[in-house]
Structure 1
């Protein structure tokens, strides 16, 4: 059934190799086939690399489902390490994130599927609690769009005062004691006969052309 699935170069290789592996009147067996096939397409060096990947496998930033899929894929190349169901369950548990692993160790689970399902449940619970409290994944709000000054620590950030180069340090709009009007820090118009409305000369405020 397997050799019928071979295509291209693999099919040509097997046709040329079959007579050597299984001479006439020799019963075909799975062990001899896999040894010959792996010798051609899956060398010992490649197998050792896959075994090393399996030994280094940790959940890291993966979800529990992603980690389990990778664990199942690489364990095929390290079958002797997971022959014992207890060893398989322990290796899977030890590769989980520390916060997940610590909870499962306390439960002292020994079944692989049970550990996998409980890890899924714990992960979902942690994500839900984090979303509720807003401690994770909370978007950073840009205070600029809300008309607020940015915050630094627990205090509101106050932008530094810019120096008014070439401008008076203080602007006053108090009532002038001389004329009773408001003309800021400039000279009082009544001193030089200027119009109280526009500050121009040659007319008074009652007939000011700029009013």
Structure 2
């Protein structure tokens, strides 16, 4: 997999690119949540390693186990100002499909959800949030069906869009 070590970032795009590479590696290796945390922390080098040690000490005093969402949230706070991070979280919460296609909405949903990891830790909330942002005619189609997971929800939304166009 060989994602690069993270030694710090000079831009938010650089940090997000590293996180994306890590997520790809996690999926390819089918990591457990515990393995993801261990691997992500291992990939922090130089000043980010020392920065994490101080964050870890703080988190350890607050409560028990550290989650991957907490690691990523702390890393985002290091790269982004807290006000910018709150702004991106609000963008995520206010996101709706509008004039976007389902594919475009899915891409934007996934992009913005990375800035709000604590808001989508629960799979059910993630699915509900995505569904609520769809166009009303697509949302109505979900009233009679239940999606079993996020990918299933995306697939059904795309199918509903096709049926809507045809009818």
Interval containing the TM-score (normalised by the shorter chain): 0.5 to 0.7
Shift of 1:2: 1.3
Per-residue CA deviation, residues 51-104 of structure 1 (Å, 9 max, x unaligned), is 000110011111100001010001011111110101101111111011100111
Q: Distance in 2 between matches of 1:64 and 1:57?
A: 13
Selected match of 1:106 from 131, 134, 144: 144
Which residue is 2:90 aligned to?
52
Shift of 1:108: 2.5
Q: Distance in 1 between matches of 2:105 and 2:139?
A: 13
Selected match of 2:47 from 9, 18, 21: 18
Shift of 1:113: 0.9
Higher helix share: 2
Q: What's the TM-score once normalised by structure 1's chain length? A: 0.47
Q: Distance in 2 between matches of 1:112 and 1:127?
A: 23
Matches within 5 A, 1:63-78: 63-78=101-116
Q: Which runs of 5+ in 1 are unaligned?
A: 11-16, 130-211
Q: Distance in 2 between matches of 1:50 and 1:97?
A: 22
Q: Relative contact order: is structure 1 or structure 2 higher (C-alpha 8 Å, sep ≥ 6)?
A: 2
Q: Distance in 2 between matches of 1:103 and 1:36?
A: 38
- Equivalenced residue count is 115
Selected match of 2:77 from 19, 27, 38: 38
Q: Distance in 1 between matches of 2:101 and 2:54?
A: 36
Q: What's the RMSD between the two structures over aligned residues?
A: 3.2
Shift of 1:115: 1.0
SS at match of 2:115: helix
**Structure 1 residues 87 and 30: CA distance shift in structure 2, 3 A:** farther
1:89–1:110 Cα contact (<8 Å) kept: no
1:47–1:77 Cα contact (<8 Å) kept: yes
Structure number with greater Rg is 1
Q: Distance in 1 between matches of 2:126 and 2:163?
A: 25
**Structure 1 residues 73 and 30: CA distance shift in structure 2, 3 A:** farther
Q: Which runs of 5+ in 2 are unaligned?
A: 15-45, 57-70
